[in-house]
């Protein structure tokens, strides 16, 4: 394999790794920021719903705000899914009202028996991915508040970003290959010039000294070494 080809491949691989790592970190950062914003909204909602649902269970709720009050996130109004369940995952209260089917399996709900849990899952009876917050009720023992909102728009945004990054990665690869070919050709041009001069030397050549490019690097040092070698060989043959 030619040196120029190897240099081009090296540049393509290095560029691909750098772009890939950068894209991965960017997606992770955006996803983390998205979840942080969403989770903060869910936490604020839980503080209200914990009291409302517990009072509703005992029939003493005087809050005028209904359970189906939309979440507002980024200017978008979203109706969340809400359930208050027992530690055995029995639905005590819910919105939409009348739903007695738990949104999540018991094994998942049991994780929130002692502390809040954030997770992504598809609730029973629904399609698509939802962002969940499960938190023990602070007012009623052995109760867990489950609140969820669809991830449709957010998942699509992240999906489109990943597609864009894949296309960008392919474009970067092509540009790196093109640039690598040009740069490697330019970098190896002095060596090729020396090679062509050395190839043209024969027994009838009077001036055997090579024209060395003033590059102030290893190429110039190599040219000077070859000139010294040619002069020594010429001297030996002249003395015979």
Is 139 in the same domain as 84? yes
Beta bridge partners of 72: 77
Q: How many C-beta neighbours within 10 Å does residue 57 have?
A: 16
Query: For residues 121 and 178, is the Cβ–Cβ distance under 8 A?
Result: no
| pLDDT over threshold 60, residue 76 | no
Residue-level pLDDT at 132: 92
Q: Does one domain contain both 123 and 225? A: no
* Together in a domain, 143 and 210: no
Question: Which of 136, 156, 176 marks a domain boundary?
Answer: 156
CATH classification at residue 71: 3.30.450.20
- Indicate if 209 and 151 belong to the same structural domain: no
Question: Does the pLDDT at position 218 exceed 70?
Answer: yes
pTM of the complete model: 0.58
Mean pLDDT over each residue of the chain, to the nearest integer: 79
The answer to the question of residue 185 being in a domain is no
Nearest alpha carbon to residue 151 among 231, 43, 224, 73: 73
Whether 134 and 38 map to the same domain: the answer is yes
Answer yes or no: is pLDDT of 118 > 90. Answer: yes
In this structure, is residue 140 part of a structural domain? yes
Domain span at residue 30 reads 3-156
Same-domain status, 108 and 205: no
Q: What is the mean pLDDT of residues 157-169?
A: 84
- Summarised one tens digit per residue, pLDDT across range 220-236 is 888 888 888 888 877 77
Say if residue 119 is in the same domain as residue 215.
Answer: no
Domain presence at residue 70: yes
Residues 54 and 138 in one domain: yes
pLDDT at 204 over 70: no
pLDDT at 73 (0 to 100): 44
Q: Is the confidence at residue 74, as pLDDT, over 70?
A: no
Beta strand pairing call for 117-121 and 76-78? unpaired
Number of domains the chain is built from: 2
In a domain, 182, yes or no: no
Residue 190 lies in a domain: no
Looking at 120, 135, 156, the residue that finishes a domain is 156
Range with the lowest mean pLDDT among 16-25, 55-64, 101-110, 196-205?
Answer: 55-64
Residues 63 and 152 in one domain: yes
Kindly state whether residue 172 falls inside one of the protein's structural domains.
no
Do 151 and 209 lie in a common domain? no
Last residue of a domain, one of 125, 140, 156: 156
pLDDT at 65: 45
Which of these ranges, 43-47, 88-92, 103-107, 145-149, has the smallest mean pLDDT? 43-47
Q: How far apart are CA 139 and CA 18, in angstroms?
A: 51
Residue 80 lies in a domain: yes
169 C-beta neighbours (distance < 10 Å), count: 15
**SS3 per-residue string spanning the chain:** CCHHHHHHHHHHHHHHHHHHHHHHHHHHHHHHHHHHHHHHHHHHHHHHHHHHHHHHHCCCCCCCCCCCCCEEECCEEECCEEEEEECCCCEEEEECCCCCCCCCCHHHHHHHCCCCEEEEECCCCCCCCEEEEEEECCCCCCEEEEEEEECHHHHHHHHHHHHHHHHHHHHHHHHHHHHHHHHHHHHHHHHHHHHHHHHHCCCCCCCCCCCCCCCCCHHHHHHHHHHHHHHHHHHHHHHC
Give the model's pLDDT for residue 52. 63
- Is residue 173 assigned to a domain? no
């Amino acid at each position: 394999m030619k040196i120029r080809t190897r240099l081009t491949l090296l540049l393509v691989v290095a560029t691909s790794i750098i772009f890939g790592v950068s894209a991965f970190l960017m997606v992770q950062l955006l996803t983390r920021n998205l979840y942080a914003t969403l989770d903060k909204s869910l936490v604020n909602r839980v503080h209200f719903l914990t009291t409302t649902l517990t009072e509703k269970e005992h029939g003493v709720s005087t809050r005028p705000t209904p359970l189906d009050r939309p979440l507002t996130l980024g200017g978008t109004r979203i109706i969340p899914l809400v359930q208050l369940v027992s530690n055995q995952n029995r639905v005590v209260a819910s919105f939409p009202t009348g739903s007695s089917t738990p949104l999540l399996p018991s094994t998942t709900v049991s994780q929130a028996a002692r502390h809040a849990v954030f997770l992504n899952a598809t609730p029973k009876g629904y399609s698509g991915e939802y962002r969940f917050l499960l938190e023990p009720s602070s007012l009623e023992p052995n109760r867990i508040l489950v609140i969820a909102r669809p991830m449709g728009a957010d998942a699509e945004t992240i999906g489109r970003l990943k597609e864009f990054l894949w296309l960008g990665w392919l474009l970067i690869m092509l540009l790196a290959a093109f640039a690598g070919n040009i740069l490697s050709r330019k970098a190896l041009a002095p060596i090729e010039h020396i090679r062509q001069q050395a190839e043209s030397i024969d027994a009838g050549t009077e001036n055997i000294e090579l024209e060395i490019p003033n590059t102030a690097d290893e190429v110039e040092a190599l040219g000077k070494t070859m000139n010294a070698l040619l002069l020594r060989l010429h001297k030996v043959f002249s003395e015979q």
